[in-house]
């Protein structure tokens, strides 16, 4: 399973990259706004900076919601860097744009997916990635992870090539469950990635190893 980081914050992207496990980045208009990046020129410059930092796929989302506008934006975004993946919303014109972008060999990530039916259309259109939003489904008291399992089952049976990118991840447990459900990629906030490092028995065990080593060294120097 590939690990993407779900942020537009350059420091967090660098921190995840330094860990040596980062395969790509996803952003969305809300994440760009959170960093205070506004205006087309600044936004595109920021995507360029991210693409220079990370060689893997970087998702950049269109703002238009009509076919013509999405196609124009997608072509402009794809010009920024080779590793740009154009993120397109799961709407009628979005599906049409994804199918056309595939024929132009521009990679796409279909975002805001909440049902298995939507997932079938996304794969038929030929998206590179599909982003089912786990956390937002959980927020409505439905089981977000069940959607990943359902899409995995359908895509496996039908031999669809679209990669399942589990999005709206809120915790380390979500990452583990996404891996078990067959996600190809998981995109997470930095905190969720770092939470995977933690286990109290690791800390206790490491302390004991270091104490035992220290004791053995002290005994050696006395003999």
Give the footprint of ligand E4P on this chain (CB under 6 A).
Answer: 6, 26, 28, 111, 131, 133, 135-136, 167-168, 187
Q: How far is the CB of 113 from ligand E4P (least distance, A)?
A: 10
- Between CA 94 and CA 115 the distance in angstroms is 16
What minimum distance in Å lies between the beta carbon of 10 and ligand E4P? Answer: 17
Cβ atoms of 187 and 165 within 8 Å: the answer is yes
Which CB sits closer to ligand E4P, 17 or 136? 136
Coil, strand, or helix at residue 176?
helix
25 vs 210 by CB, closer to ligand E4P:
25
Yes or no: say if 15 and 49 are a contact pair by the CB < 8 Å rule.
no
Catalytic residue among 17, 40, 49, 87: 87
- Nearer to ligand E4P by C-beta: 191 or 211? 191
Helix axes 144-158, 172-181, angle to 10 degrees: 30
Q: Min. distance of Cβ 182 from ligand E4P in angstroms?
A: 18
DSSP state of 90: S
∠ CA 5-78-193, nearest 5°, is 5
Residue 87 annotated to the active site? yes
Q: Looking at beta carbons only, is 71 or 134 nearer to ligand E4P?
A: 134
Round to whole Å and give the CA distance between 29 and 192. Answer: 21
Nearest to 169 by CA among 150, 190, 200, 141: 190
At closest approach, how far in Å is the CB of 198 from ligand E4P? 21
Q: Which residues are catalytic?
A: 87
């Amino acid at each position: 399973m590939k690990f993407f980081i779900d942020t537009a914050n350059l420091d967090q992207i660098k921190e995840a990259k330094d860990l040596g496990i980062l395969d790509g980045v996803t952003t969305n208009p809300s994440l760009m706004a959170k960093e205070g990046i506004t205006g087309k020129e600044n936004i595109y410059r920021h995507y360029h900076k991210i693409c220079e930092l990370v060689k893997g796929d970087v998702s950049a989302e269109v703002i238009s919601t009509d076919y013509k506008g999405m196609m124009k934006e997608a072509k402009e975004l794809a010009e920024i860097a080779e590793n740009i993946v154009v993120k397109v919303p799961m709407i009628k014109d979005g599906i049409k744009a994804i199918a056309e972008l595939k024929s132009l060999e521009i990679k796409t990530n279909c975002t805001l997916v909440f049902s298995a039916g939507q997932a079938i259309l996304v794969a038929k259109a030929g998206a590179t990635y599909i982003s089912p939003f786990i956390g937002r489904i959980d927020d409505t008291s439905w089981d977000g992870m069940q959607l990943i399992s359902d899409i995995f089952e359908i895509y496996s049976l039908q031999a669809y090539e679209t990669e399942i990118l589990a999005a709206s991840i809120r915790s380390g447990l979500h990452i583990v469950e996404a891996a078990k459900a067959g996600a190809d990629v998981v995109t997470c906030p930095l905190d969720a990635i770092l939470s995977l490092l933690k286990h109290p028995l690791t800390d206790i065990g490491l302390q004991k190893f270091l104490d035992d080593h220290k004791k053995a060294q002290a005994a050696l120097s006395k003999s």
